[in-house]
Protein backbone atom coordinates (compact mmCIF):
# COMPACT_ATOMS: atom_id res chain seq x y z
CA UNK A 1 0.00 0.00 0.00
CA UNK A 2 2.81 2.43 0.86
CA UNK A 3 4.57 1.70 -2.44
CA UNK A 4 1.34 2.29 -4.36
CA UNK A 5 0.88 5.70 -2.70
CA UNK A 6 4.52 6.61 -3.40
CA UNK A 7 4.11 5.66 -7.07
CA UNK A 8 0.93 7.71 -7.33
CA UNK A 9 2.72 10.69 -5.78
CA UNK A 10 5.66 10.37 -8.17
CA UNK A 11 3.29 10.04 -11.15
CA UNK A 12 1.38 13.16 -10.13
CA UNK A 13 4.60 15.12 -9.70
CA UNK A 14 5.99 13.92 -13.04
CA UNK A 15 2.76 14.84 -14.83
CA UNK A 16 2.94 18.28 -13.24
CA UNK A 17 6.36 18.98 -14.74
CA UNK A 18 5.20 17.88 -18.19
CA UNK A 19 1.84 19.68 -18.15
CA UNK A 20 2.64 23.00 -16.46
CA UNK A 21 4.33 24.83 -19.37
CA UNK A 22 1.54 23.69 -21.71
CA UNK A 23 -1.14 24.80 -19.22
CA UNK A 24 0.49 28.16 -18.64
CA UNK A 25 0.62 28.93 -22.37
CA UNK A 26 3.76 30.98 -21.89
CA UNK A 27 7.47 30.38 -22.06
CA UNK A 28 9.09 29.68 -18.72
CA UNK A 29 12.47 30.94 -19.93
CA UNK A 30 14.04 33.74 -17.97
CA UNK A 31 16.90 34.91 -15.83
CA UNK A 32 17.24 33.40 -12.36
CA UNK A 33 16.87 36.31 -9.98
CA UNK A 34 16.40 34.58 -6.63
CA UNK A 35 14.70 32.06 -4.39
CA UNK A 36 11.24 32.38 -2.80
CA UNK A 37 10.57 30.35 0.36
CA UNK A 38 7.01 30.18 1.72
CA UNK A 39 5.68 28.66 4.94
CA UNK A 40 2.02 27.81 5.33
CA UNK A 41 0.45 29.58 8.31
CA UNK A 42 -0.77 26.86 10.70
CA UNK A 43 -4.54 26.74 11.20
CA UNK A 44 -5.30 29.07 8.28
CA UNK A 45 -6.43 26.42 5.78
CA UNK A 46 -9.84 25.77 4.30
CA UNK A 47 -10.28 22.54 2.36
CA UNK A 48 -13.45 22.08 0.31
CA UNK A 49 -12.11 19.00 -1.57
CA UNK A 50 -12.23 20.62 -5.07
CA UNK A 51 -10.99 24.00 -3.80
CA UNK A 52 -8.59 24.74 -0.98
CA UNK A 53 -6.86 27.80 0.41
CA UNK A 54 -4.31 28.60 3.09
CA UNK A 55 -2.30 31.66 4.14
CA UNK A 56 1.46 31.86 3.59
CA UNK A 57 4.37 33.99 4.72
CA UNK A 58 7.22 34.20 2.22
CA UNK A 59 10.81 35.40 2.04
CA UNK A 60 12.54 36.29 -1.23
CA UNK A 61 16.35 36.31 -1.44
CA UNK A 62 17.95 37.65 -4.62
CA UNK A 63 20.73 35.62 -6.25
CA UNK A 64 23.22 38.46 -5.86
CA UNK A 65 22.34 38.80 -2.13
CA UNK A 66 21.52 42.49 -2.68
CA UNK A 67 18.02 42.26 -1.25
CA UNK A 68 15.63 40.29 0.92
CA UNK A 69 11.91 40.95 0.65
CA UNK A 70 9.03 39.64 2.77
CA UNK A 71 5.56 38.80 1.49
CA UNK A 72 2.26 37.54 2.83
CA UNK A 73 -0.38 35.85 0.76
CA UNK A 74 -2.53 32.88 -0.01
CA UNK A 75 -2.04 29.63 -1.90
CA UNK A 76 -4.26 26.72 -2.78
CA UNK A 77 -6.00 24.70 -5.43
CA UNK A 78 -8.52 26.67 -7.47
CA UNK A 79 -9.84 23.61 -9.29
CA UNK A 80 -8.76 20.05 -8.70
CA UNK A 81 -8.86 17.63 -5.85
CA UNK A 82 -7.44 18.12 -2.39
CA UNK A 83 -7.67 15.27 0.07
CA UNK A 84 -4.60 16.38 1.97
CA UNK A 85 -4.49 17.29 5.62
CA UNK A 86 -1.16 18.92 6.42
CA UNK A 87 0.22 19.77 9.81
CA UNK A 88 3.06 21.80 8.24
CA UNK A 89 4.09 22.74 4.69
CA UNK A 90 6.98 24.64 3.09
CA UNK A 91 7.27 25.70 -0.57
CA UNK A 92 10.57 26.68 -2.20
CA UNK A 93 10.70 28.20 -5.71
CA UNK A 94 13.46 29.33 -8.05
CA UNK A 95 12.38 32.75 -9.32
CA UNK A 96 12.88 33.48 -13.03
CA UNK A 97 12.16 36.88 -14.56
CA UNK A 98 11.74 37.54 -18.28
CA UNK A 99 13.44 40.93 -17.95
CA UNK A 100 16.01 39.89 -15.33
CA UNK A 101 15.11 42.80 -13.02
CA UNK A 102 15.17 42.36 -9.23
CA UNK A 103 13.82 44.15 -6.18
CA UNK A 104 11.07 46.65 -5.39
CA UNK A 105 8.65 43.87 -4.43
CA UNK A 106 8.36 42.79 -8.05
CA UNK A 107 7.02 39.38 -6.96
CA UNK A 108 3.77 40.88 -5.63
CA UNK A 109 0.82 39.72 -7.70
CA UNK A 110 -1.14 36.67 -8.77
CA UNK A 111 0.38 33.40 -10.03
CA UNK A 112 -1.38 30.43 -11.57
CA UNK A 113 -0.20 27.04 -12.78
CA UNK A 114 -0.36 23.34 -12.01
CA UNK A 115 0.51 21.45 -8.85
CA UNK A 116 0.51 18.05 -7.23
CA UNK A 117 1.52 16.66 -3.85
CA UNK A 118 1.23 13.49 -1.81
CA UNK A 119 2.10 12.63 1.78
CA UNK A 120 1.91 9.84 4.29
CA UNK A 121 3.70 11.22 7.33
CA UNK A 122 6.28 13.13 5.29
CA UNK A 123 5.27 14.26 1.82
CA UNK A 124 6.53 15.97 -1.32
CA UNK A 125 4.99 17.96 -4.11
CA UNK A 126 5.57 20.67 -6.67
CA UNK A 127 3.90 23.69 -8.25
CA UNK A 128 4.90 25.50 -11.45
CA UNK A 129 3.46 29.02 -11.48
CA UNK A 130 3.53 32.01 -13.85
CA UNK A 131 2.37 35.55 -13.07
CA UNK A 132 3.42 38.44 -10.89
CA UNK A 133 2.55 42.10 -11.17
CA UNK A 134 3.57 42.29 -14.86
CA UNK A 135 3.09 38.56 -15.65
CA UNK A 136 6.81 38.20 -16.38
CA UNK A 137 7.77 36.06 -13.37
CA UNK A 138 7.98 32.28 -13.35
CA UNK A 139 8.18 30.31 -10.11
CA UNK A 140 9.85 26.96 -10.72
CA UNK A 141 9.63 24.35 -7.98
CA UNK A 142 12.70 23.41 -5.99
CA UNK A 143 10.79 21.43 -3.37
CA UNK A 144 7.54 21.30 -1.49
CA UNK A 145 7.73 19.49 1.81
CA UNK A 146 4.91 18.65 4.16
CA UNK A 147 3.90 16.53 7.09
CA UNK A 148 0.42 15.06 7.15
CA UNK A 149 -1.60 12.66 5.04
CA UNK A 150 -3.33 12.69 1.66
CA UNK A 151 -2.91 13.77 -1.95
CA UNK A 152 -3.75 16.85 -4.00
CA UNK A 153 -3.55 17.85 -7.68
CA UNK A 154 -5.02 20.53 -9.89
CA UNK A 155 -4.84 24.15 -10.98
CA UNK A 156 -2.91 25.92 -8.24
CA UNK A 157 -2.51 29.57 -7.38
CA UNK A 158 -0.39 31.86 -5.24
CA UNK A 159 -1.26 35.48 -4.36
CA UNK A 160 1.57 37.60 -2.91
CA UNK A 161 1.61 41.10 -1.44
CA UNK A 162 4.23 43.15 0.35
CA UNK A 163 4.36 42.39 4.06
pTM of the predicted model as reported, rounded to 2 decimal places: 0.77
Q: Which residues of 68-103 are buried (b: 16+ CB within 10 A; e: fewer)?
A: ebebebbbbbeebbbebebeebebebbbbbbeeebe
Contact residues for 3 (Cβ-Cβ < 8 A; gap 6+) = none
Average pLDDT score, the chain: 79
Paired residues of 87 in beta bridges: none
Give the dihedral of Cα atoms 40, 41, 44, 45; nearest 10 deg. Answer: 10
Three-state SS at 36: strand
Domain ranges of the chain: 2-162
- Give mean pLDDT, residues 24-49: 78
- CA dihedral sign of residues 47, 48, 49, 54: negative
Any idea which of 54-63, 89-98, 139-148 has the lowest mean pLDDT? 139-148
Higher-scoring residue by pLDDT: 93, 148 = 93
Residue 146 confidence class, pLDDT cut points 50, 70, 90: confident
Q: How much is the pLDDT for 57?
A: 97
User: What pLDDT digit, counting tens, does each position of 59-109 carry?
Assistant: 999 998 888 999 999 999 999 988 877 678 889 999 998 877 777 888 999
Strands 46-47 and 109-131, bridge-based pairing = unpaired
Pairwise CA distance, residues 73 & 7, whole Å: 32
Residue 6 has pLDDT above 70, yes or no: no
Contact, 24 vs 136, CB < 8 A?
no
Supply the pLDDT for residue 41: 92
Give me the mean pLDDT over the 118-127 stretch: 82
Amino acid sequence: MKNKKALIGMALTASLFMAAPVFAGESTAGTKIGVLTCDVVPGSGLNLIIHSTTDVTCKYDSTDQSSTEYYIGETGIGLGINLQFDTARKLVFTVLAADGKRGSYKLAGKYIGAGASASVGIGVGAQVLIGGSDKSISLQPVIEGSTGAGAAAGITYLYLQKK
